Amino acid sequence: MPDSDSSSLRPTSHTTDPDGSVPFVSQYEKGQRLGVGGFGTVFKGTRISDGQQVAIKIIPKNKEDDYIVVSGYSKPLIKEVGLNLRVKKSPTSPNIVQMLDWFEEAYHHMLILEYPQPCMTLNSFLKFNRRRVDENQARHFMLQAVLAAKHCMDRGVAHNDIRLDNILIKTDTLELKLIDFGCGELIEGCDDEDNQSRGHVVPELYVAHKYALSETVLSLGNLLYRMVEGQSALENNPKFDCNRCSKGPFYPFYEVGEKLGLGGFCNVFKGDWLI
Ligand SMILES: Nc1ncnc2c1ncn2[C@@H]1O[C@H](COP(=O)(O)OP(=O)(O)OP(=O)(O)O)[C@@H](O)[C@H]1O
Ligand SMILES: [Mg+2]
């Protein structure tokens, strides 16, 4: 695999090609369920060769699955695997859970993921904290979320689903890690690899850079709002009607900026507040 991780997270050989590859069952042991989402179920797992704890995401195959081309791989890969491979290109981000390996079986795709321990989703973390965190903690998490989002965009990937359930918090260090590229897209014209993908990827899998950016900023703003206000800026909130997007992606930042006494989103996003 063309990349380098720390030794404890070293990738094993991938097994997309069924010929001669070592099957999942002889490399990993599946443990109890960690979480379930709309697309897959995630289990604890152990890498048999060295006892490394991992998370195993099992995604049922679907004839509507999207495939993308990734340089270094001869055939198109299921989109979630392809986007993970792009994102984990060196230098990696400590704020994104790394995919260590993947398997394609008759009825499932299986992603072997870094399992940060001890961890919980940001959603659970907020529930334990009476639904909100103080300004210092919000800042600490926001900086990491912004760095994770920027890392994805720099690799030509729009995550598209940055929200409380797709963020893990390592509870001993308060490190934040973004998960779940299931809703991701490629950003148009972002890098060399894009040229290679052209012609192999259906146009619907591409998003223009300006839309990717505005969606990212909106979701980050909403994240900050959730952490500070204890509710979503966008859902079930009478202050924001369904025309919210016409107010622009920075809308949640205005409210949070006011609340924190910063006077607007610029000071949240660009000023000293984050760092
Ligand atoms: N690497 C991981 N380590 C620990 N827990 C994880 C990991 N990946 C996922 N989980 C847990 O499993 C849940 C579902 O994972 P994920 O969001 O990847 O699935 P999904 O089906 O794509 O979800 P969605 O409904 O958001 O599309 C997460 O919310 C989290 O609780
Ligand atoms: Mg998810």
Q: How far is the CA of 262 from the centre of ligand 2 (A)?
A: 32
pLDDT at 172 over 90: yes
Residue 2 token pair: 């063309």
Residue 238, pLDDT above cutoff 60:
no
Question: Which of ligand 1's atoms lies nearest the C-alpha of 121?
Answer: 31
Domain boundaries, the chain: 6-273
Q: Which fold has domain 6-273?
A: Transferase(Phosphotransferase); domain 1 (1.10.510)
The mean pLDDT of 42-49, rounded to a whole number, is: 98
For ligand 1, say whether the CB of 158 is within 6 Å of any of its atoms: no
Alpha helices in 96-199 (DSSP H): 122-128, 135-154, 192-197
pLDDT tens digits along 48-98: 999 999 999 999 999 889 998 888 888 889 999 999 999 999 999 999 999
**Which of 31-40, 170-179, 183-192, 255-264 has the highest average model confidence (pLDDT)?**
170-179
Which tens digits make up the pLDDT trace of 174-204? 999 999 999 999 998 765 555 555 555 556 6
pLDDT at 37: 87
First to last CA, the chain: 35
What is the rounded average pLDDT for all residues in the chain? 82
Does residue 236 or residue 225 have the better pLDDT?
225
Active-site residue numbers?
161
Q: Which residue lies with its CA nearest to atom 19 of ligand 1? A: 37
**CB of 43 sitting under 6 A from ligand 1:** no
Quick one: 192 exposed, middle or buried, by C-beta within 10 A (0-12, 13-18, 19+)? exposed
Residue 80 alpha carbon, nearest atom of ligand 1: 22
Q: Is the pLDDT of residue 245 over 70?
A: no
C-alpha count within 13 angstroms, C-beta hemisphere, residue 220: 26
Torsions phi, psi for 73 (to 5 deg): -120, 130
- Across 123-129, average pLDDT: 95
Ligand 1 mean position, distance from CA 19 (Å): 30
Q: Whose CA is nearest to atom 5 of ligand 1?
A: 34
Which residues line the annotated binding site for ATP?
Answer: 57
SS3 143: helix
